[in-house]
């Protein structure tokens, strides 16, 4: 099966610009997660979709970040306007049933965002 | 609240030597614990998980970890390192009995270097 796909793999933008990251989960996975790793820090949870609904967005840093999952398939994460501290690697992950610990998270390769 | 501490951001071993990567957790409720590995330019891959069954957990690629409640630890070991084990390793925790095992709290990661 195809894995979780993220693009772009790298993005370099200037402070104040807008960037949109995309994630295509594994087909059939209703659950989609966004995580972020800021340089030198731990990977942190941003939010969790179940199909098209936001189940938990407690990790979203501020209102400059907007996540969507229209139709319950792929998801986008938009940062507008980007700030220097938004630089990092953004990971997407999907799973079939997060209520079952036997259902593992499948991670994408991440998008490395650099804000200059 | 939960937290994970990985002792040692960098660990270096010789090929064939024992690998020991340390992880200590803090959790107000019984946790489930995970080790993930990230190879260069790839996403995170699940190595193994503890879900309150056996305290000694075996994973892929010859890795294993032991859950020690008295020490709040979940250290990762491998008897004999291979060059292909060079990667970054992440310990993660989630509350047992939760509704979403996809919402993980990660440690800061340990980069393992294997010398010939």
What local confidence, expressed as pLDDT, does residue A60 receive? 96
Chain B residues with CB under 8 Å of A105 CB are 44, 46, 102, 104
What local confidence, expressed as pLDDT, does residue A99 receive? 67
What local confidence, expressed as pLDDT, does residue B17 receive? 98
Cα–Cα distance between B47 and B61 in angstroms, integer? 8
Query: Dihedral of the CA atoms A12, A37, A54, B103 (nearest 10)?
Result: 160
Cα–Cα distance between B26 and B38 in angstroms, integer? 23
Helix (H, G, I), strand (E, B) or coil at A54: strand
pLDDT in tens, B86-101: 999 999 998 887 667 7
What local confidence, expressed as pLDDT, does residue B11 receive? 97
Chain B residues with CB under 8 Å of A93 CB are 43-44, 102
pLDDT in tens, B33-88: 999 999 988 999 999 999 877 889 999 999 999 999 999 999 999 999 999 999 99
| Start-end of H helices in B69-113 | none
CA A102 to chain centre: 22
The residues, any chain, with a CB within 8 Å of residue A72's CB and separated by 6 or more, are A30, A49, A51, A52
pLDDT in tens, B103-113: 899 999 999 99
CA distance to partner chain B, nearest, from residue A81 (Å)? 27
Cα–Cα distance between B16 and A33 in angstroms, integer? 37
Burial of B21 (0-12, 13-18, 19+ CB in 10 A): buried
Per DSSP, what are the bridge partners of residue B84?
none
pLDDT in tens, A103-116: 788 999 999 999 99
What local confidence, expressed as pLDDT, does residue B68 receive? 93
| Residues with pLDDT less than 50, chain A | none
Chain A residues with CB under 8 Å of B90 CB are 43
CA A107 to chain centre: 10
| Residue of chain A whose Cα is closest to the Cα of B98 | A99
What local confidence, expressed as pLDDT, does residue A86 receive? 97
Q: Which of residues 39-58 of B touch A (CB under 8 A)?
A: 41-46, 49, 51
What local confidence, expressed as pLDDT, does residue A1 receive? 66
Residue A105 to residue B51, Cβ atoms within 8 A: no
Chain A residues with CB under 8 Å of B57 CB are none
Tokens encoding B47: 């190595």
Of B4, B102, B108, the CB nearest to A105: B102
Residue B103 to residue A56, Cβ atoms within 8 A: yes
Please tell me if residue A110 touches chain B, with a CB cutoff of 8 Å: yes
What local confidence, expressed as pLDDT, does residue B72 receive? 93
Tokens encoding A19: 């960037």
């Amino acid at each position: 099966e195809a894995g979780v796909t993220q693009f772009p793999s790298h993005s370099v933008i200037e402070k104040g610009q807008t960037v949109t990251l995309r994630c295509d989960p594994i087909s059939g996975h209703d659950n989609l997660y966004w995580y972020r790793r800021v340089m030198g820090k731990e990977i942190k949870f941003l939010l969790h979709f179940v199909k098209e609904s936001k189940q938990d967005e407690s990790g979203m840093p501020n209102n400059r970040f907007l996540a969507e999952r229209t139709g319950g398939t792929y998801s986008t994460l938009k940062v507008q306007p980007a700030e220097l501290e938004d630089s990092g690697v953004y990971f997407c992950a999907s799973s079939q049933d997060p209520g079952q610990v036997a259902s593992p998270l499948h991670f994408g390769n991440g998008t490395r965002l650099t804000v200059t | 609240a939960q937290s994970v501490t990985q002792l040692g951001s960098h660990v270096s071993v010789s090929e064939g030597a024992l690998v020991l990567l340390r992880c200590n957790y803090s959790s107000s409720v019984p946790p489930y614990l995970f080790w993930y590995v990230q190879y260069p330019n790839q996403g995170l891959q699940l190595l193994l998980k503890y879900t309150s069954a056996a305290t000694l957990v075996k994973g892929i690629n010859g890795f294993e970890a032991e859950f020690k409640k008295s020490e709040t630890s979940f250290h990762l070991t491998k008897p004999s390192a291979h060059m292909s084990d060079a990667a970054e390793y992440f310990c993660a925790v989630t509350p047992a009995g939760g509704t979403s095992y996809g919402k993980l709290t990660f440690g800061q990661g340990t980069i393992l270097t294997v010398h010939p």
